[in-house]
Amino acid sequence: MLWITLGHTVIVTGFYVIMAGKPETDGPPGAIAIGRALQALGRKVTYVTDSYTAPVLQQWAGEADVVEFPISGIEESKRHAAQLLQDLQPALLISIERCGRSRNDTYLNMRARDITPQTARLDYLFDGGIPSVGIGDGGNEIGMGNLVDVIPSVDSLPDDPAISRVDRLVIASVSNWGGYGLVAALSQICGRNILPVADDEAQMVQGMIDAGAVDGTTGDAVPTVDNFSMDENSELLARLHSVVSTG
């Protein structure tokens, strides 16, 4: 995992919630946690998302750029992805809770509803052979192509999962928690606790809600993530802090 800290890292996130017409609270907080950890290690970070999630990330991105990827057709998206990779020259791509295309080039949520018209095709960034990490919780995110033959056999997961593959796949109950787990692992590698503080995360989630995010499972603009409360989020972070502090 040491290679995750090398060079310029591009982090993609943002998942459209069709019932609310807004992005969800799962993904952006985890993206910021990873980005800040890498910045603390002296690495350059750029966030890439779409027009729905860009306002949610902007306030918390700090010195990192937030690049808005256009929502467009297949060929135009491929050209834009190629140009963006050429411009940024990333050493690593990380996706956290970002919808990936299915076998028929559509983007589906967990209820199998088509969100293609509201989804920028960020998974084309992952087709160029750059080292990559994918974090997800539902089977329809970038990276789940690693398990494309397994996911349909699980009753609670999509029959038509995402096909985009990554070098390292992280599966979590909540994608943000997978992001925190990745930062915990980085903390152990570098010998320095770079995990976020629970109170700061709760403040950020509320700030993202104020900027337009909603809970992805309910569509409500409340301080929950996948219907987990901030107290449950804080408990998870406390456990990770304990793991890091005890080595």
Report how far residue 165's alpha carbon sits from residue 141's, in angstroms, rounded to the nearest whole number: 10
Give the model confidence (pLDDT) of 52-102 as tens digits: 999 999 999 999 999 999 999 999 999 999 999 999 999 999 999 999 999
pLDDT at 247: 75
Comparing C-alpha atoms, which of 34, 5, 2, 3 is closest to residue 176?
34
Beta bridge partners of 48: 12, 67
**pLDDT score for 145:** 97
Closest to 8 measured CA to CA, from 137, 94, 68:
94
Residue 228 pLDDT: 98
What letter would DSSP give residue 196?
P
Q: Which domains does the chain have, with CATH numbers?
A: 2-245 (3.90.1640.20)
DSSP labels, 151-184: GGGSTTS-SS------SEEEE-SSHHHHHHHHHH
| Span 19-49, pLDDT tens digits | 999 999 999 999 999 999 999 999 999 999 9
Residue 220 scores a pLDDT above 70: yes
What pLDDT score was predicted for residue 4? 52
The answer on pLDDT for 226 being more than 70 is yes
